[in-house]
Amino acid sequence: MNILLLGSGGREHAFAWKISQSPSCSKLFVAPGNPGTAKIAQNIGVTVTDFESIYQVIVEKDIELLVVGPEEPLVKGIVDFLHSRPKTASLPIVGPSQKGALLEGSKDFSKQFMLRHGIPTASYATFNASQVQEGLDYLENHSLPIVLKADGLAAGKGVLICQSHEEAASSFKEMLVDAKFGEASSKVVVEEFLTGIEVSVFVATDGKSYKILPEAKDYKRIGEGDQGLNTGGMGAVSPVPFADKIFMEKVEQRIVVPTIQGLEKEKISFKGFVFIGLMNKGGEPYVIEYNVRMGDPETEAVLPRITSDFVGLLKDIAHSNLVNHRLEISPMHCTTVVMVSGGYPESYEKGHAITLPSEVSQGVLFHAGTSLGNSGQVVNQGGRVVAITGWGDNLQESMNNAYRIVEKISWENAYFRRDIGKDLVSFRK
Ligand code: AMP
Ligand code: GLY
């Protein structure tokens, strides 16, 4: 089967790595891909939001399955676009409809959805530009800290946690009146702050049935000990020791089941991945957010643990056959360390040649923000440059294997956190 995968990050390299190992994949194309995916698939120089060109590629290359990696094309409606075209009207796609993608594309929509289906989440209120005074009054009586969220997609920057009422009021005005996040902050969600420890849960669904994939913990802050600015993610581990059987049972019954049933009841077509960002608050799960795709770098720690045929899973999602799918998960532990360009998530230099090991053992190296320099060498291009996953029988062993590989990779001003997984090694309930 010919497969087209959209995206260019570490998540997509991990998808491509897994897909290319499957006996049912005859040809894999990645658009636009990166130098890592180029080694195992054919990259095609088309961006993920150029729907017309993607349509042409699907027709020309006889694509039989499309897998959408990032959220942007989903929120912009790629699935509806392709299904409205004659030659791709029945193309199997892993990725939700535009309505389904609203679970990530609009925080207000996702909060209303949770409320409608009794899914535990922080209490909230939403305000638009004509309700500024109402919003300011609401903030005055709100307990601290106050969480402000731009309604729309804001490249992971749209959440502000305000420690004072003054800060909340001025940020609120900046978002609504000065359009700090452009159209994304034309509505602002004001939310109760949840305290606890976060975990990412991934659910594959065809809109009716579901399979829960291995959970992961993401390390979002740039600095060790979870200090400093938020990033796209500096590392991940899977499994997560505090997400034990009892907790995951609560997640399934209180969150996963009503989410999938809610989609079905509301006739929202959703074939793809629901990524549930959860807070474990004293053993009780609360939804922080939904995403409508896999996480990055969580994917790099989760996919190596799937031992059943990955293309089989993707096909069963797209063909509404998950009910008959047998998902097999390895008990092994994975630790993913992301190496970034020094300066990220603020400004950073690009174009430095990267030294990479020719082979790795007990792990795998994924490209994220790399490109090929003038003389064909791999250089850093993005903030998050490579993601290294190490595996082993326990967390410590997987960390050792990841960091052993990391030590073989270097470029000018490279940075990474040395403490991924460290907080969980001695975790006891
Ligand atoms: P998001 O962009 O929704 O992933 O939010 C970014 C981060 O902000 C989350 O991963 C949490 O760490 C934090 N966050 C979001 N909402 C809340 C909340 N209600 N309470 C506490 N932390 C939150
Ligand atoms: N690692 C968080 C995300 O993918 O949104």
What separation in Å is there between the alpha carbon of 85 and the centre of ligand 2? Answer: 31
Query: Considering the domain boundaries, does residue 424 fall inside one?
Result: no
**What three-state secondary structure class fits 141?**
coil
Report the phi/psi class of residue 163: left, alpha or beta, with left for phi > 0 and alpha for psi in -120 to 50: alpha
What separation in Å is there between the alpha carbon of 296 and the centre of ligand 2? Answer: 5
Show the ligand 1 pocket: residues with CB < 6 angstroms.
Answer: 122, 147, 156, 159, 191, 193-194, 198, 220, 277, 288-289
Query: Considering the domain boundaries, does residue 224 fall inside one?
Result: no
- Do residue 10 and residue 70 come from a single domain? yes
Query: Considering the domain boundaries, does residue 27 fall inside one?
Result: yes
- CATH number, domain containing residue 142: 3.30.1490.20
Query: Considering the domain boundaries, does residue 210 fall inside one?
Result: no
Per-residue pLDDT of the chain in tens (429 residues, 90 and over written 9): 999 999 999 999 999 999 999 999 999 999 999 999 999 999 999 999 999 999 999 999 999 999 999 999 999 999 999 999 999 999 999 999 999 999 999 999 999 999 999 999 999 999 988 888 999 999 999 999 999 999 998 877 788 999 999 999 999 998 888 878 878 878 899 999 999 999 999 999 999 999 999 999 999 999 999 999 889 999 999 999 999 999 999 999 999 999 999 999 999 999 999 999 999 999 999 999 999 999 999 999 999 999 999 999 999 999 999 999 999 999 999 999 999 999 999 999 999 999 999 999 999 999 999 999 998 999 999 999 999 999 999 999 999 999 999 999 999 999 999 999 999 998 765
In the chain, what's the furthest Cα-to-Cα distance? 60
Query: Considering the domain boundaries, does residue 395 fall inside one?
Result: no
Q: How many domains does the chain have?
A: 2
Which atom of ligand 2 has the smallest separation from the CA of 11? Answer: 4
Q: How far apart are CA 263 and CA 42, in angstroms?
A: 35
Which atom of ligand 2 has the smallest separation from the CA of 294? Answer: 4
Which atom of ligand 1 has the smallest separation from the CA of 289? Answer: 3
Token pair recorded at residue 402: 């990841």
Write the burial class of residue 136 (CB in 10 Å: 0-12 exposed, 13-18 middle, 19+ buried): middle
What separation in Å is there between the alpha carbon of 288 and the centre of ligand 1? Answer: 6
Show the ligand 2 pocket: residues with CB < 6 angstroms.
Answer: 218, 233, 291, 295-296, 298
Query: Considering the domain boundaries, does residue 93 fall inside one?
Result: yes
What separation in Å is there between the alpha carbon of 376 and the centre of ligand 2? Answer: 30
Q: What is the chain's length?
A: 429
Token pair recorded at residue 316: 């069963």
Q: How far from each other are the two terminal CA atoms of the chain, in whole angstroms?
A: 46
What separation in Å is there between the alpha carbon of 36 and the centre of ligand 1? Answer: 31
The CB density around residue 87, as the number of other CB atoms within 10 Å, is 11
Output the pTM of the full model. Answer: 0.96
Amino acid 429: pLDDT: 59
- Residue 159, domain extent: 123-192
Chain centroid to Cα 213, Å, comes to 13
Q: How far apart are CA 207 and CA 260, in angstroms?
A: 6
Q: How far apart are CA 394 and CA 420, in angstroms?
A: 14
- Amino acid letter for position 189: V
Q: How far apart are CA 60 and CA 58, in angstroms?
A: 6
Query: Considering the domain boundaries, does residue 310 fall inside one?
Result: no
- Do residue 67 and residue 152 come from a single domain? no
Amino acid 182: pLDDT: 76
Q: Which of 169, 192, 215 is the last residue of a domain?
A: 192
Phi, psi of 153 (to 5 degrees): -70, 130
Query: Considering the domain boundaries, does residue 60 fall inside one?
Result: yes
- Do residue 129 and residue 91 come from a single domain? no
- Do residue 165 and residue 129 come from a single domain? yes
- CATH number, domain containing residue 44: 3.40.50.20
Q: How far apart are CA 95 and CA 314, in angstroms?
A: 10
Q: Which of 54, 80, 97 is the last residue of a domain?
A: 97
Q: Which of 176, 192, 208 is the last residue of a domain?
A: 192
Alpha helices in 297-413 (DSSP H): 298-302, 310-318, 395-406
- Do residue 90 and residue 142 come from a single domain? no
Q: How far apart are CA 393 and CA 30, in angstroms?
A: 32
Name the residue with the closest Cα to ligand 2, atom 4.
Answer: 295
| DSSP-assigned letters across all residues of 44-64 | ----TT-HHHHHHHHHHTT-S
What separation in Å is there between the alpha carbon of 283 and the centre of ligand 1? Answer: 18
Name the residue with the closest Cα to ligand 2, atom 2.
Answer: 295
